[in-house]
Chain A
Amino acid sequence: MFDYNDPSGRDFLGNTAARDFYRAELERVHQQGARVPNSAFTLPEAFSGIDPAQQEPPVVVEWPGFPVTAGQSDATIDANRFLHQDEYVEWETARDAAGNLTVTFTTEFPEYFEAFAKVGFEPLREAIRDVVPDADPTPDELFGPGIAPDALSPEDRADRFRAFRQSNPWNNGEKGVLCLTQQFNTLGALINLLVHCSIARTDVDASQICTLVGGFCGQRRNSDPRISVNVQNAARANLVISAADPVGISIERLGGRWTLDGAEVDIATTSTNGLQHWTLSRNGRRAEFRLPAGLDLRLDNAPVVSGAQLSRVLIVASRVTAASSALVPIWARAGNEPQVPVG
């Protein structure tokens, strides 16, 4: 089994049981993808023996986080995270009584926290505290009312944690934000997209591949068509691919033209009275935008009022490992999919 790394760069908080659960889940997802006939998608261990000098640079597919499918106002998109925010990035927008604005973005998949949930309630609480300092979640908040979490099997704990994400105050914005929750923002969705869009189809233009894989590619999204055309081109170039480790979506940057009191600034480094306005954390899986009330910090000459507004210039990315078919084991090449677990 491949030693999948902690996507948030936290080395699973030293919890080897959570690490093992996480790796087992990633392994299951990858093994299933690697068996799909004629797909260029393969297991990450296929790349381990390649001379770095021969390794292709990772395919980096970027897209803005604004959910074009929503067709709603920015305020509505902000207020309905679980309905509209479907570009593998979600956010919560909060304004306190003094008018200070905070927008918290996350691209973390729930599988990470589910791995801790499988170990037990206390490890999950520690994982949440690692994201939301001083968090003191109760079993009811994480698993729903009336549940004694440590009486549950590991899988039941993970199931209930996943099911209750929308009402979990440490995730739904009431007390914090943890992980992706919108129904199409799933690890399975990302892997399936890579798997099915990397089946070479030379009978059509690469840009059409998204329309040919049925429900695995959202044609009207920012993300899926871009990922699909990139991995399709990789497959046509006789490359094999896999999701780059650590697997997930990274927040790359907050674009746009920013001004503070009329003067252009670099939002990535700008701070006011010691407050950094844009911070990235957890290995690029989480970001926070802070705007004190009354500060004239503008995006493209407009005051910042919503997370959806920021999402138009928020660039996120999926990284795909690629290598020539000739350099990987035979079982990793398209058309030679392994029939038994590899590794």
Chain B
Amino acid sequence: MRQTTFFFLAAITATLIIGRPTQAQTPVPLSTPGSAAVQALELGDPFFELVILANPQPTRLSDIEAALQPVPDRRRKFVVDEGIKSSAPGQRRSVISFVGQTIAPSGEVIDLDATVMLSIFFAPGQFPSSENGTEAWGWDDARGRYNYYKLNGNTWMFRGTSSGPEVRNRTGCMSCHLNGSPIMKELLVPWANWHSVSDGIAYLSQPPWNPVAQPIFAPGQLQGAERLEVQIISALRRFHRHEAARAQTPLGGGITRIDNARALLRPVFETTEINIASSSVPTGNLHPFTSSNLGILDPVQIPNTHFLNARVLAQSNFPGSSADGTLNIAAAGQFRNAARVPATVYQDLVTSNALVLASCRGPVPGLQGDAHFAWLHPEPGLFDVTRVEHLLTEKIVDRNFVAAVMAVDLRNPISDVRAELLQFVPEDYQIDASGPLDLHEQTLAALDAAGTALPPSAQLFRDRLRSGNATALLEQDVEAYLAEVTSAFSVPTSAEFDDEVQKQFANLLDRRAAMIAADSVFCGLVEGPLLPVKGN
């Protein structure tokens, strides 16, 4: 167990410790869009077309919004903050998205659905609290890339693109947007830390946050994170479509070559981004920002993604997903049914571990307790999950290939052991309408070529790949794993149950600690993480 924990920590650290910017990205000022320097950037997204090319360039938020979508009720505002349960004055972050279309000065009709978003900070009655620092991204459909912008004083700056060196170097905006695509770290139900249908934040609609005389949210503008989720997932899928198309070269006869396969298939092997997930059970007064005197009231079902990479393995479970895009192993979605922690036991775990909310600078004095939703944990990011989904549905990879990968280090949802297998994947391979033609063969050849030097993980990968029925074998593995968990959790109050709950909770705390370890990507996020960790 100790070794497992160590491996996990090593895994998550290796995954999350990014090359923190070794040299600052040099932003390009956009105040003269016709200049050679700006022309050379080849920008063509809605933000560039509607804001940067406007004369004068808008820098006030209201003017920026009007330039992007003149119709106010087609603007959507979303709010997130780790302390969102507290109505105490402070800053909150808002993401602003748009729906519908806008006609550019050039006459071009521009679709705004998930093609451009803004990020700002605001305070009670002040939206934004300052225009300086306003961030934006826009999708350039012709070039298949996201472009990033930031307002520096009164000057809009170009901050990078998803196809630029910033992604590789992880500098500028890409120190958070690790793959160059939009991020929403608390994706999927219950969208912890966001105003959402799972947790409506009433004070945002009331004075002093939303003054009656000068409301900062027009009627209908403040929306729940469940709606942003759909737009973000749509933005991720669009990115994958273009990335996959870019990697394909038709060879004739219905055969296509997949180029740069290691880059395209990397999310199959490696957790390139993580999301924060949780159960849907509110922790009540275990959360320090909750004013209620009621505590956690319902049993906590430990989420499936605490146990394994369930969003790839199990049935579809997020907007737009289908069983074709997963391994469709039903047992992978049933861990939470087995792993139920009574409310009293969960409360004891929180208090006996003296949980305290901690930022990247350490525990925050006075913030003893848990997150607002129980069992907050990192899970493989939806960027990776939707990439695998796309590869499967487009038959760029097949289920047996993905299953052979997932069999390795199955019990670690985020694993650097699987990541090491990517080296055996060919740089290019061929597919036809039925799926990969030589991916298995080339990968097996590379594995065989390594001879006896293969580590056990790679041997398992090789054996599963060669078996021809890796999906069925993985299903057996998952069912055996589920049976173990079911047995361990079957008798609450038993010693085995206590041991298992303690083990899983310790595992959870290790993962959280790794998330806010110095230099982790989460510490680079603008609003900064605030996670419950073990206290003294």
Contact = CB atoms under 8 A, between A and B. Distances in A.
Interface of A: 28-29, 32, 35-37, 80, 82-83, 144-148, 151-153, 155-156, 159-160, 162-167, 183-184, 186-189, 192, 196, 214-220, 337, 339-341
Given A163-B190, A166-B200, A184-B294, 19 more contacts: A144-B230, A144-B319, A146-B233, A152-B315, A152-B317, A153-B314, A156-B333, A163-B198, A163-B226, A163-B280, A164-B226, A188-B298, A196-B344, A216-B297, A218-B293, A339-B491, A339-B493, A339-B494, A341-B490
A35 B299 contact: no
A146 B490 CA distance: 35
Contacts of A36: 342, 344
Contacts of A162: 280
B459 interface: no
13 contacts: A35-B492, A144-B319, A151-B323, A163-B189, A163-B226, A183-B199, A186-B298, A188-B298, A192-B297, A192-B298, A214-B347, A215-B347, A339-B493
A145 B315 CA distance: 18
A98 B494 CA distance: 62
A35 B493 contact: yes
B316 interface: yes
A151 B491 contact: no
Pairs of residues from A and B, 4 with the lowest C-beta to C-beta distance, nearest first = A215-B295, A146-B319, A188-B298, A189-B297
Contact of A215 (B198, B280, B296, B337): B296
B200 A82 contact: yes
B78 to A, nearest CB: 14
B321 interface: yes
Nearest to B199: A183
B160 interface: no
Counting chain B CB atoms within 10 Å of each CB, which of A153, A217, A218, A219 scores highest? A153
A147 B344 CA distance: 34
B176 interface: no
A222 to B, nearest CB: 14
A56 B347 CA distance: 34
Contact of B292 (A29, A164, A184, A187): A184
B347 A165 contact: no
Contact of B285 (A28, A35, A164, A215): A215
B96 interface: no
B189 to A, nearest CB: 4
Contacts, number: 123
Given A144-B226, A151-B322, A184-B292, A164 B299 contact: no
B493 A215 contact: no
Nearest to B332: A153
A183 B285 CA distance: 13
A198 to B, nearest CB: 14
A186 B298 CA distance: 8
Contacts of A218: 292-294
Nearest to A148: B322
Contacts of A187: 298
B466 interface: no
Contacts of B242: none
Interface string B354-368: 000000000000000
Contacts of A147: 319-320
B238 to A, nearest CB: 14
A163 B197 contact: yes
B203 to A, nearest CB: 10
Given A163-B189, A166-B197, A216-B297, A146 B315 contact: no
A78 B493 CA distance: 43
Contact of B340 (A28, A146, A217, A337): A28
Interface in B276-323: 280, 282, 284-286, 292-299, 314-317, 319-323
B180 interface: no
Contacts of B337: 155
Contacts of B294: 184, 189, 215-218
Contacts of A164: 197, 226
B227 interface: yes
A265 to B, nearest CB: 38
Given A146-B320, A164-B197, A166-B200, A188 B299 contact: yes
B495 to A, nearest CB: 10
Contacts of B159: none
B202 A80 contact: yes
A145 B284 CA distance: 28
Nearest to A84: B202
B230 A215 contact: no
B426 interface: no
Interface in B243-299: 280, 282, 284-286, 292-299
A189 B282 CA distance: 11
B197 A151 contact: no
B500 to A, nearest CB: 15
Nearest to A80: B202
Nearest to B493: A35
Counting chain A CB atoms within 10 Å of each CB, which of B233, B286, B490, B493 scores highest? B493
Nearest to B322: A151
A28 B340 CA distance: 9
Contacts of B224: 167
A300 to B, nearest CB: 30
B343 interface: yes
B344 A215 contact: no
B186 to A, nearest CB: 13
A144 to B, nearest CB: 5
A220 B189 contact: no
A80 B202 CA distance: 9
Nearest to B492: A35
A148 B296 contact: no
Contacts of B189: 159-160, 163
B179 to A, nearest CB: 22
Nearest to A340: B491
Nearest to A172: B197
B334 interface: yes
B314 to A, nearest CB: 7
B512 to A, nearest CB: 22
B227 to A, nearest CB: 7
Contacts of B343: 188, 192, 216
Interface string B474-506: 000000000000000011111000000000000
A114 B296 CA distance: 21
A89 to B, nearest CB: 16
A313 to B, nearest CB: 25
B330 interface: yes
B240 interface: no
Nearest to A196: B344
B336 interface: yes
A141 to B, nearest CB: 12
A146 B492 contact: no
Interface string B414-437: 000000000000000000000000
Nearest to B226: A144
B297 A159 contact: no
A147 B233 CA distance: 12
Interface in B39-82: none
Contacts of A28: 299, 340
B297 to A, nearest CB: 4
A155 B340 contact: no
Contact of B293 (A146, A160, A220): A220
Contacts of A151: 315-316, 321-323
Contacts of B320: 146-147
Nearest to A216: B295
Contact of A83 (B200, B226, B227, B319): B200
B207 to A, nearest CB: 13
